[in-house]
Amino acid sequence: MPRRDYEGDPVNATPRHSVSVAGVVVRDDGRLLAIRRADNGTWEPPGGVLELAETPEDGVRREVLEETGIHVEVDQLTGVYKNVTAGVVALVFRCKPSGGTERVSGETTAVQWLTADEVTERMSEAYAIRLLDALDGNSPHVRSHDGRQLLTDQA
């Protein structure tokens, strides 16, 4: 049977994925940096598409700064998350704030430091888990989701 693209048309090439990066920025008081996206109003950790010529760590620093005004030191990879619906693989890193002042950008309508409970209340499961995973000390996690909810392992 021929391979098909996402619209169901036959294709000869391997499906392409997009790689994104996100920063779970943790303050000394345990609060987590979050943004409300301008395009869809959802709360998420700051992040975006990794550019071809940059390292994942450089991409995290750039995205967090662009979206929030906060400079970060990248600590460690805490998870790899695949949105199976959109074909996006996200590399998520725990970070420490190292300067700057919170501000919104063209991509954000709010920037706030949230508690873990507030993260759970405001974010869909697929995004809240990224922040919670970064706090649990069992990194890195590997998870799949549909853009809103985690997908359970199927045997």
Pair 92, 33: CB distance under 8 Å: no
| Burial class for 58, CB neighbours closer than 10 Å (0-12, 13-18, 19+) | middle
| pLDDT in the model for residue 15 | 74
**pLDDT bucket at 155, cuts 50 / 70 / 90:** very low
On average, the pLDDT of the chain sits at 91
Helix H or strand E segment including 96: strand 88-100
DSSP one-letter string for 50-91: PPTTS-HHHHHHHHHHHHHSEEEEEEEEEEEEEETTTTEEEE
| pLDDT in the model for residue 139 | 87
Pair 54, 20: CB distance under 8 Å: no
Distance CA 140, CA 54 (A): 21
Pair 31, 70: CB distance under 8 Å: no
What is the assigned CATH class of domain 18-137?
alpha beta
**pLDDT bucket at 154, cuts 50 / 70 / 90:** very low
Between 137 and 63, residue with greater pLDDT? 63
Report the candidate in 5, 13, 16, 17 with the shortest Cα–Cα distance to residue 91: 17
Q: Provide the whole-model pTM.
A: 0.88
Residue 23 has pLDDT above 90, yes or no: yes
Pair 125, 150: CB distance under 8 Å: yes
Tokens 């392992």 identify what position?
Answer: 153
Q: Which strands make up the sheet holding 108-114, listed edge to edge?
A: 43-44, 32-37, 108-114
**pLDDT bucket at 31, cuts 50 / 70 / 90:** very high
Between 73 and 11, residue with greater pLDDT? 73
- The model's pLDDT over 51-64, given as tens digits with 9 standing for 90+, comes to 999 999 999 999 99
Share of residues in the chain with pLDDT > 70 (%):
90
Share of residues in the chain with pLDDT > 90 (%):
85
